[in-house]
């Protein structure tokens, strides 16, 4: 019933990508512009993933597993740039190394059958990003930034990442661990709703943020 919703996710990403591109004047540094780049990277991935099987005859797990690796690595590096405390920044580097190791192990484990999602790497990536995001929020709430945190594009972007990945992870693990049959209709509905919430956070961040808080 809801299978068609999955094809509309690209339009959500395009909307937030266009809003982000139009908001570039108030995204002063490379760190802020990097957010827009990440959104357009996801748009390109969706397009390539959609046509990948048609172009190559292979399933598109290759595309999305690579996207998962690249995006989580980018999230961790972004959060490292946002963190100010030395110990937290060191922890972010350790987390990046841990994620790369986990992904490589996942790659080796499935080397004979790459036509599957790297669920364990995804779950580890979400956990690491969640911890770093909590550290970032704690730093905000313990500083003067608490007075204007809603005016920062970074706050809304991190919130969008969490809004999508934290609920989606147990859904994926339930399908993988408990061998629940994947209903494409429900899967598409969940994916669309979470993408809608995430891109709404991105758009709010681009529209509500102020230049002086986006450094």
Query: For residue 26, is pLDDT > 60?
Result: yes
144 compared with 195, residue with greater pLDDT = 195
Do 214 and 26 touch, CB atoms closer than 8 A? yes
pLDDT at residue 114, as a whole number: 64
Q: What is the domain partition of the chain in residue ranges? A: 3-213
Q: Say which range, 50-64, 91-105, 201-215, has the weakest mean pLDDT.
A: 50-64
| Rounded Cα gap, residues 96 and 135, in angstroms | 15
| Rounded Cα gap, residues 102 and 95, in angstroms | 10
Let me know if 115 is exposed, middle or buried by CB neighbors in 10 A (0-12, 13-18, 19+).
Answer: exposed
| Rounded Cα gap, residues 102 and 129, in angstroms | 14
| Rounded Cα gap, residues 122 and 132, in angstroms | 15
Do 17 and 46 touch, CB atoms closer than 8 A? no
Q: Which helix (H) or strand (E) holds 156?
A: helix 153-177
Tell me the percentage of the chain whose pLDDT exceeds 90.
69
DSSP state string for 90-113: HHHHHHHHHHHHHHHHHHHHTTT-
């Amino acid at each position: 019933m809801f299978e068609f919703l999955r094809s509309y996710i690209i339009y959500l990403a395009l909307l937030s990508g266009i809003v982000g591109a139009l908001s570039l004047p108030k995204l002063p540094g490379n760190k802020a512009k990097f957010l827009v780049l990440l959104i357009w990277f996801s748009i390109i991935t969706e397009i390539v993933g959609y046509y990948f099987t048609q172009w190559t005859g292979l399933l598109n797990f290759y595309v999305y597993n690579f996207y998962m690796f690249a995006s989580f690595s980018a999230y961790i590096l972004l959060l490292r740039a946002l963190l100010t405390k030395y110990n937290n920044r060191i922890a972010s580097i350790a987390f990046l190394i841990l994620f790369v190791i986990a992904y490589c192990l996942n790659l080796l484990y499935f080397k004979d059958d790459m036509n599957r999602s790297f669920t364990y790497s995804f779950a580890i990536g979400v956990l690491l990003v969640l911890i770093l995001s909590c550290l970032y929020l704690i730093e905000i709430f313990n500083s003067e930034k608490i007075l204007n945190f809603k005016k920062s594009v970074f706050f809304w972007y991190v919130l969008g990442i969490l809004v999508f990945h934290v609920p989606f992870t147990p859904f994926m693990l339930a399908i993988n661990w408990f061998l629940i049959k994947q209903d494409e209709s429900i899967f598409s509905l969940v994916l669309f709703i979470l993408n809608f919430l995430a891109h709404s956070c991105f758009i709010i961040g681009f529209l509500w943020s102020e230049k002086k808080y986006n450094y």
